Structure 1
Amino acid sequence: MSTMLIGLSLVVPVAACAAEQQPPRSSAAGCQIALLLPENTTPRYEAKDRPLFQAAVKAQDPGCTVLYFNAANAADKQQQQAESALAQGAQVLVLDAANVDSSAAIVQEAKAKGVPTVAYDRTAGGPLAYRTGFDNVEVGRTQANAMIKAMQAAGHASGDIVMINGAPDTTGAFFKQGAHEVFDHSAYKVAAEYDTDGWSPTNATTEMTQAISKIGAHDIVGVYAANDTLAGAAITAMRQAGISPVPPVTGLDATDEGLQRIVQGTQYMTTYKNLKAETAAAAKVAIALAHGQPVPFAPKVKNATGDEVPTQLLPPVAVTVANIKSTVVADGFATSAEICVGGAADACARAGLTR
């Protein structure tokens, strides 16, 4: 069986179960859930994941409270936050690991205290009770396939490309793996590649500048950027180098800034994760675990430490100017008013988006 088929076989329909209309539990049967997010450099965590998860918990069990923590890209800080959550009486940890490799210590400590851990979005090591998220290798494949389609449409059947990957100790490693599965079997050459510590846009701008010096300003036919923040940095570097128009650039997270660039034509695509479905699924599992109730069935998948974990994965969606309206806007993830501001207003009108 090919790697592609293996990856796809792990994807199960979470959206349906996440969207089930369950009557809210009695507030008398309350619980306490800790949400530990990894960083605040990427806009999505504070703007989307946190409020969506809190709303999902409140909707499903008004008696449950959420203890919130953000590790600001520091694994040791997240360890301390997890210990604080346990000390405050958290019955379940919902963990988006700041560092996948070191996350097992958090999971093991929680289990030793009788507290289950749900890996949210990113995988984690250790004896997890459950994982909800996306097929992150498939995210990379989705980005790479979309970029190849755009390069071919631009008349480049081959050529030099740049890869601005995410942090290697996070989901960036899985995105990179999936992208290479596509690029390494294509006619395109990865002429410059960088792993961007901390998903830092400052580092990404430097990396793209180095790639331009190495390859040549007019010889780059595409730029793989692991998320929208890195895409924006790469585009800034190309503009500073006088590259116009910029070649196709990928992204991830469907940020307002990324969607504005897509409408304006400076970023080709972003990869959309339906965070409303993901947070609803994670809240449902966490509440069930807190109450000692059965969790939704999911196939078991081995994590980095070899532990078999029930895993629900959603498929990512490639978003371009052609389908913004039918994906992120239709889902209520982003509104036309949020996208169509400033310099994007005229481009929105051409794309059929109105405020």
Structure 2
Amino acid sequence: MHGYENARWTKDKDYLVDNLTKEGADIMLEVANGDQQKQIAQAQTMISNGVQVLIVVAISQDEAAKIVELAHKANVKVIAYDRLINGCKLDYYVTTNSTHIGELQASYLTSLKPKGKYALICGSKYDGNSMRLFLGQMNILHPLMETGDIQLVYSEFTEDWSSAEGALHTKHIFEQNTDSITAILAGSDAIADGVLEVLEERGLEGKIMVSGQDCELDNVKAIMNGTQTCDILKPLKEMASITAELAVSLALKKPLKMKFTYESNGKALVKSILLDASIVNRNNIENTVIASGFHTSAELNQ
């Protein structure tokens, strides 16, 4: 894993370990805490210790290609989890469809306010999922921009998926726009936290629509109290289950039952599984977040 900078990644880890254990796998788990060279060294140690399949959450999608090269020298298969690894002959990729997520965010906000000034804070410029998210948002926004109903007044990628970046870009949005903003589409809940912080300082909480992604506990509570408009619930249990099944099938050389599409990583067409996420709003928290077991009703009402 690359690190646990938000609660979402702890859930990924728990679901993966649980599913791999159920499949009868022996698990080696290492966390690199945002250090790509450390992650490469951890992978090398795992390969030396006889691991059969590597599941990698890449820190740098380009530099992590070294892990794939090392693994292939030892006939070890690599599954990229959530983030594609670029520039190598990667074996498999399991993720949520980020283009679809962007479409969900933009569709929901434009259904509420089909006219106005929209701003995008898209996510880390170092994560390929950010570009896919942006493309999904633009699939929905562009036709409305062409009719003049929506003005895109800001669109930037961040240095990382943090609340500090969310706050910084929100300040830039207000520096560049003196009149009212209709919506800010934030790439993640951490970024949305920074957006909400600046809106609160300016007395604009609940007056500007804000989207997020990941359904962090505080953000779902923000939807309940009307300060955040919507969120994205990723199918983390399903992602973990499919990844575990794939990993164990590869280790045991069993036939693969899952269906694949292909994603290009610049060097190869990678066998990929892209899962769809769900939109979460004030009216469907019970049927999405709580029903999936992602958060309990008790946690949300604390």
Structure 2 length-normalised TM: 0.92
Long gaps (5+) in structure 2 = none
- After superposition, the C-alpha distances for 1:221-243 in whole angstroms (9 at most, x for unaligned) are 00000111111110111111222
Instruction: Report the CA distance between 1:278 and its aligned residue.
Output: 0.8
Listed as ranges, the matches of 1:258-297 within 5 Å are 258-297=219-258
In the alignment, structure 1 residue 203 sits paired with structure 2 residue 161? no
Offset, 1:167: 0.6
Q: Is the 8 A contact 2:55 2:79 kept in 1?
A: yes
Deviates more, 1:133-142 or 1:82-91: 82-91
**2:63 corresponds to:** 102
Question: Distance in 2 between the 1:175 and 1:85 partners?
Answer: 33
99, 102, 126: which is aligned to 1:137?
99
Query: What residue is the counterpart of 1:176 in the other structure?
Result: 134
1:66 paired residue among 7, 24, 27: 27
Distance 1:92 1:119 in 2: 11
What's the offset of the Cα at 1:207?
Answer: 1.3
C-alpha change, 1:132 and 1:87, in structure 2 (3 Å) is: same
C-alpha displacement of 1:160 = 1.7
Query: In the alignment, which residue of structure 2 is the partner of 1:40?
Result: 4
Amino acid at match of 1:303: S
- After TM superposition, give the deviation of residue 104 of structure 1 in Å: 2.1
Q: Counterparts of 1:177 and 1:42 in 2: how far apart (Å)?
A: 25
Over aligned residue pairs, what C-alpha RMSD do you find? 1.7
Partner of 1:50: 13
Separation (CA, whole Å) in 1 of partners of 2:7 and 2:58: 16
2:117 matched residue in structure 1: 160
Say whether the 8 Å CA contact 2:126–2:160 is kept in structure 1: no
SS in 2 for 1:332: coil
Please tell me the residue identity of whatever aligns with 2:132.
F
Give the number of aligned pairs.
296
Does structure 1 retain, via aligned residues, the 8 Å contact 2:58–2:85? yes
Secondary structure of the corresponding residue to residue 253 of structure 1: coil
Q: Deviations over 1:274-308 (max 9, x none)?
A: 11111011000001111122222423413212422
CA–CA separation in structure 2 for the residues paired with 1:76 and 1:175 = 27
Choose which of 106, 119, 128 in structure 1 pairs with 2:90. Answer: 128
- 1:13 alignment partner in structure 2: none
| 1:111 positional shift | 1.1
- C-alpha distance after superposition, 1:108-159 (max 9, x if no partner): 221121100012122223222222222111111111111212324xxxx2x2
Asked if 1 retains the 8 angstrom alpha-carbon contact of 2:43 and 2:67, the reply is yes
Inter-CA distance 71–294: structure 2 relative to 1 (3 Å threshold): same
Q: Provide, for residues 192-240 of structure 1, a one-character-per-residue CA deviation record: whole Å limited to 9, x for no partner.
A: 2221212121122111112112112x51000000111111110111111
TM-score (ref. length: structure 1): 0.79
1:244 deviates by 4.2
SS in 1 for 2:241: helix
**Which residue does the alignment assign to 2:194?**
233
Percent identity between the aligned chains? Answer: 24
Answering whether residue 184 of structure 2 is matched by residue 223 of structure 1, we say: yes
The 1:85–1:300 alpha-carbon spacing in structure 2 relative to 1, beyond 3 Å, is: same
